[in-house]
């Protein structure tokens, strides 16, 4: 499978970009139009399914890359950080979209999820658990 490393990595990178973009736009739409058309579109089934599909491709590519390069979470620190922070980011996103009661709460949780997402990207780019804070 190593011969497909470049292609798998490319799918993974584009899936990250698409996943982050969808999350960002859904949050903007939800904040801009709670109870109105933009908010309803952000929470519509086709948009949710697009997000789920992209995230499934992203996770599949990640698992394939992990296998190809033989680096694993809970063995390689930078991958451990990515996996733990992925859970945090997903939790914040779910809280923002489903459980936040006020617009301010929703915006804060959404912004926190985006910040965690961006830090995960920095960890991936640096291959260092400290991400942008690596020396």
* Pick from 9-13, 42-46, 90-94: least confident: 42-46
Instruction: Tell me the pLDDT tens digit for each residue of 68-93.
Output: 999 999 999 999 999 999 999 999 99
Inter-helix orientation angle 103-126/5-32, to 10°? 160
Q: How confident is the model at residue 122 (pLDDT cuts 50, 70, 90)?
A: very high
Q: How confident is the model at residue 38 (pLDDT cuts 50, 70, 90)?
A: confident
Q: How confident is the model at residue 120 (pLDDT cuts 50, 70, 90)?
A: very high
State how far the Cα of 115 lies from the Cα of 31, in Å rounded to an integer.
17
User: Is the predicted pLDDT of residue 39 greater than 90, yes or no?
Assistant: no
pLDDT attached to residue 125? 96
User: Is the predicted pLDDT of residue 33 greater than 90, yes or no?
Assistant: no
Length of the chain: 135
Q: Please give the model's pTM, rounded to 2 decimal places.
A: 0.92
């Amino acid at each position: 499978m190593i011969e497909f490393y470049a292609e798998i990595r490319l799918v993974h990178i584009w899936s990250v970009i698409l996943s982050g973009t969808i999350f960002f736009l859904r949050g903007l739409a939800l904040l801009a139009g709670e109870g109105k058309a933009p908010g309803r579109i952000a929470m519509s089934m086709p948009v949710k399914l697009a997000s789920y599909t992209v995230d499934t491709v992203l996770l599949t590519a990640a698992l394939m890359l992990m296998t190809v390069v033989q680096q694993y979470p809970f063995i390689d620190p930078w991958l451990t950080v990515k996996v733990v922070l992925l859970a945090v980011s997903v939790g914040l996103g779910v809280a923002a979209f489903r459980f936040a009661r006020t617009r301010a709460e929703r915006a804060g949780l959404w912004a926190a999820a985006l910040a965690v997402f961006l830090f995960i990207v920095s960890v991936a780019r640096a291959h260092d658990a400290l991400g942008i804070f690596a020396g």
